[in-house]
Amino acid sequence: MARHIPADPIGFRLAHELTGLLAGIESDGVIVRVEVERVSRWLEAAAPYRQVQPFAEIAARLRSALADGILTREECEDLRFVASTLTKLNPYVKAVRAGVQELMGLVAGIAADRVVPTVELHALQDWLDEWSELKGTWPYDECEAIAVDVLAGSRHPAGREYLIQLAAEFPIGGTDDDRARPLTLAGICTVAPAIEFPGRLFVFTGDSTKAPRETMESHVRRRQGFTERGVTRATDYLVVCDGGNPHWTLACYGRKVEEAYELRCQGFPIAIVAECDFWDAARTIIS
């Protein structure tokens, strides 16, 4: 028997994820087999919570829709409508957290077939415009930078491929690879970050070819920011100094990036930024 009062917010998180996932797979107007399989894997991963409301009711409807091995756009729209209706009054999370959960689902759906056509980028941009209050949170800023740059016709260094890579970072059930992670600096650092200094907490990792660690920390303090040596939930920016080599594997980044990555996947808005972006931001502020 389904529990109508969940012990935790997992039922609402899954409902938000599914809303985004379905929107993502249907955003190009065609739902292919690999996308249906992606949704099926997600549902299988969420099976331990099949009795938690509001997910319980949505999961039953989704299982019924998947019974014939296909998903139609009408079925997706009906499921999204039900999910949105059941999550209007969410006593567990704020609207911002709900938006981030839906965005992760949306990008995971877009990336499900590992192809990102322009029509899907337009759908992503429309969603981002509607949820503009999420600016400054992860992964909103990364998704916005990719969508704006690619739709403007510029050759973004990561582009569509980075969006697929980004989706692999999300804690969305049913991924092909267990905790798949990007292998380059571009794959884990925030794209075109808006770095602010006053009142913000910075942590540095890696070796810089431009300045000693103490000098970089002094730049932050002169701009009314703060520095710490370790990553915590209060960290705003982790600056990755790559020693001039952007092709480090994640293992080479070290403990701080690993810790920030884990916290970011838990929903804490830690921006992992490249050293070059730190210096660009520092130069724009008059000391």
Q: What percent of the chain has pLDDT over 90?
A: 30
Exposure b/e, 57-70, CB count within 10 A at least 16 = b: bbbeebeebbeeee
Contact status, residue 206 vs residue 253, Cβ threshold 8 Å: yes
Contact status, residue 71 vs residue 31, Cβ threshold 8 Å: yes
pLDDT of 177:
56
pLDDT of 23:
92
Question: In this model, does residue 188 exceed pLDDT 60?
Answer: yes
**pLDDT higher for 142 or 113?**
113
Each residue of 137-185: pLDDT tens digit? 677 877 887 888 788 775 554 578 878 877 877 778 777 654 444 445 5
Question: In this model, does residue 284 exceed pLDDT 80?
Answer: no
Cβ count within 10 A of residue 284: 8
**pLDDT band at residue 249, thresholds of 50, 70 and 90?**
very low
pLDDT of 273:
86
Among residues 40, 42, 36, 46, the alpha carbon closest in space to that of 72 is found at 36
**pLDDT higher for 42 or 190?**
42
Question: In this model, does residue 122 exceed pLDDT 80?
Answer: yes
**pLDDT band at residue 124, thresholds of 50, 70 and 90?**
very high
pLDDT of 85:
82
Each residue of 195-239: pLDDT tens digit? 999 999 999 987 788 899 999 999 999 999 999 988 999 999 999
Q: Would you call 53 helix, strand, or coil by DSSP?
A: coil
The tally of CA atoms less than 13 A away on the side-chain side of residue 6 is 19
What is d(CA 106, CA 167) in angstroms, rounded to the nearest whole number?
9
Question: In this model, does residue 7 exceed pLDDT 60?
Answer: no
Q: Which of 1-5, 30-34, 266-270 has the highest mean pLDDT?
A: 30-34
CB proximity list for 126: less than 8 A, separation 6 or greater: none
Per DSSP (E only), the strands in the chain are 201-207, 226-227, 237-242, 271-274
pLDDT of 278:
92
Q: Would you call 286 helix, strand, or coil by DSSP?
A: coil
Cβ count within 10 A of residue 229: 10
CB proximity list for 281: less than 8 A, separation 6 or greater: 193, 195, 197
3-class secondary structure per residue, 147-209? HHHHHCCCCCCCHHHHHHHHHCCCCCCCCCCCCCCCCCHHHCCCCCCCCCCCCCEEEEEEECC
Each residue of 51-82: pLDDT tens digit? 888 888 888 889 999 999 999 988 998 888 88
What does pLDDT average to over the chain? 80
What is d(CA 153, CA 7) in angstroms, rounded to the nearest whole number?
47
**Structural domains in the chain plus CATH codes:** 10-180 (no CATH), 186-283 (3.40.50.10190)
